[in-house]
Structure 1
Amino acid sequence: MRIVAIIQARMGSTRLPGKILKKVNNRPLLSYQIERLQQSQYIDELVIATTIKQQDDLIVEFCKENSISYYRGSETDVLARYYEAASAFKADAIVRITSDCPIIDVQIVDLTIQHFIESNKFDYVSNTVERTYPRGLDTEIFSFAALKKAYNEALLERDREHVTAFFYSNPDVFSIGHIKNDKNYSKYRWTVDTEEDLELIRKIIQGLYNKNPQFTLQDTVNIMDKNPDWFYINAHIEQKKL
């Protein structure tokens, strides 16, 4: 089984434009995410799926400078962008990651992939539909066959924009698996969509990265516990609705 991780990325964020190339310790956030995902035991190739818009030339330049595979497609029909990228890179299964998750935990990514492989019965597995992990550690994996079905059949704008919404909106059509953590850490927000989010992620990276570049969920929880005021930096931020 050829597993391709596809990271959707664009510069045109409404709340924090250019967020994925914002720098912490003089490095773009996207580089931290890629470094972490490259440690996966299961991912065969990592692909950045960006858009054909001129402003996203910066992302392509980043990919070229760092020898990262990329694909350019529709800005709004992200489902089509994923399907085309998965086809181009001959994926049997696709790991979907969004580029606003710079401290994603590769152990959780691999746990999700492993469940998908070993169960051998699910079209789609995620740790997001029934959330127990912090926002920002989101991982989804699905078969190419499921992606192709969604690409051909999804009609709603929401389903085209959010790629996997068609799967969990149709549990009678797709077999869906869930990954849950023993403790519920869903209160934490470790994604980057606003300046406040960026401030928190900067503190986490500066506090943990130099000691261990592959710091984990538990490492991050521990440093949050030691700095309880950090939680309130972005606790008021609401996630955009689907």
Structure 2
Amino acid sequence: MEQLKIGIVTQVRVTSTRLPAKVMLTVAGRTYLEHHLARLARTDLPVIVATTTNHQDDLVVQVCEDHGIPVFRGSEDDVLSRFAGAAREHDLDALVRVTSDCPLIDPEIVAAGVDRWRAENDPDLYISNCLERTYPRGMDFEIFSAARLYDAEARATLKADREHVTSYLHQNRSGEMRLLNLPWTGGGAQYRLTLDTADDWKLLDALIEDFDAPRLGCAELVAILDAHPELAALNAHIEQKKLGE
């Protein structure tokens, strides 16, 4: 059987509300976007950046061009159509969806998820590691077939479904999806390794500058935060934005 083409599509825009242009902030000589893309590259899967047609996101395109990463540009608000466009342009059979505010996403965890999705051999399967929160925030991924994405693109009418890409799938609005959560027993579900606010930025800066976090996997990062509660406290008070906010 022919091997399915699975690609990672990561969504990026610099007009983020809580921390504007957050992925363009730099630490250890690289932008946070570059740290994120370098982690994804270690999966050995194709990586595609889905950004907007806003002129502000020319910055994103420049970073990607510098590193030979393909970019698809689409609607800022209809992110579902942006992902579908990226999948079509690159002839993907299935996608891994991640977001660019995860500079320390663990490539081994993502690759293992893809292996599981392939092994299940079910085009109606949606796999994620965050249907239930067992990982730190910042490790999240979702995997689904392009066929299911195109179906969502054609049928989703709720504004939240257009904006959040996968809610039509993981809320099973079609009634045809099979959902599978891949849990983690390594702890750390309370931690935030995501870049959404200035306090998240403080923690990530400290991990990257003082602990060489780009070399570390999820378990090692959790161990550092377990051993250094003063670091975990930097962003422990942040509330994650809810779907639709």
- Which residue of structure 1 lines up, in the alignment, with residue 59 of structure 2? 58
Q: Distance in 2 between matches of 1:4 and 1:103?
A: 19
Q: Distance in 1 between matches of 2:89 and 2:221?
A: 36
- Which residue of structure 1 lines up, in the alignment, with residue 132 of structure 2? 130
In structure 2, the CA distance between the partners of 1:97 and 1:239, relative to structure 1 (3 Å rule), is same
AA paired with 2:18? Answer: R
- Which residue of structure 2 lines up, in the alignment, with residue 72 of structure 1? 73
Q: Distance in 2 between matches of 1:141 and 1:230?
A: 31
Contact 1:96 1:141 in 2 (8 A): yes
- Which residue of structure 1 lines up, in the alignment, with residue 119 of structure 2? 118
SS of the aligned residue for 1:233 comes to: coil
Within-5 A mapping of 1:27-176: 27-41=30-44, 43=45, 45-121=46-122, 122-170=124-172, 172-176=175-179
TM score, norm. by length of structure 2: 0.94
Q: Deviations over 1:151-171 (max 9, x none)?
A: 011100000000011111117
For the pair 1:16 / 2:19, whether they are aligned, the reply is yes
- Which residue of structure 2 lines up, in the alignment, with residue 196 of structure 1? 199
Identify the range of structure 1 (121-130 vs 104-113) with the bigger mean alpha-carbon deviation.
121-130
Contact 1:127 1:140 in 2 (8 A): yes
Which of 174, 177, 182 is residue 179 of structure 1 equivalent to? 182
SS of the aligned residue for 1:234 comes to: coil
Contact 2:80 2:165 in 1 (8 A): yes
Contact 1:36 1:214 in 2 (8 A): no
Structure 1 residue runs of 4 or more that deviate by more than 2 Å after TM superposition: none
Superposition deviation, residue 207 in structure 1: 2.8
AA paired with 2:215? Answer: Q
Q: Name structure 2 gaps, 5 residues minimum.
A: none
SS of the aligned residue for 1:4 comes to: strand
Q: Name structure 1 gaps, 5 residues minimum.
A: none
Q: Distance in 1 between matches of 2:205 and 2:133?
A: 24
Contact 2:186 2:219 in 1 (8 A): no
Identify the range of structure 1 (167-176 vs 197-206) with the bigger mean alpha-carbon deviation.
167-176
Percent identical residues: 41
Q: Distance in 2 between matches of 1:123 and 1:180?
A: 16
TM score, norm. by length of structure 1: 0.95
Q: Distance in 1 between matches of 2:188 and 2:226?
A: 12
Q: Distance in 1 between matches of 2:228 and 2:209?
A: 13
AA paired with 1:240? Answer: K
AA paired with 1:177? Answer: L
Q: Deviations over 1:156-215 (max 9, x none)?
A: 000000001111111732111110012442101110010000010111112332xx7431
- Which residue of structure 1 lines up, in the alignment, with residue 240 of structure 2? 239
CA RMSD after TM alignment: 1.3
AA paired with 2:225? Answer: M
Q: Distance in 1 between matches of 2:215 and 2:103?
A: 12
For the pair 1:224 / 2:245, whether they are aligned, the reply is no
SS of the aligned residue for 1:125 comes to: strand
AA paired with 1:84? Answer: G
SS of the aligned residue for 2:242 comes to: coil
Q: Deviations over 1:94-125 (max 9, x none)?
A: 01010000000011101211111111235210
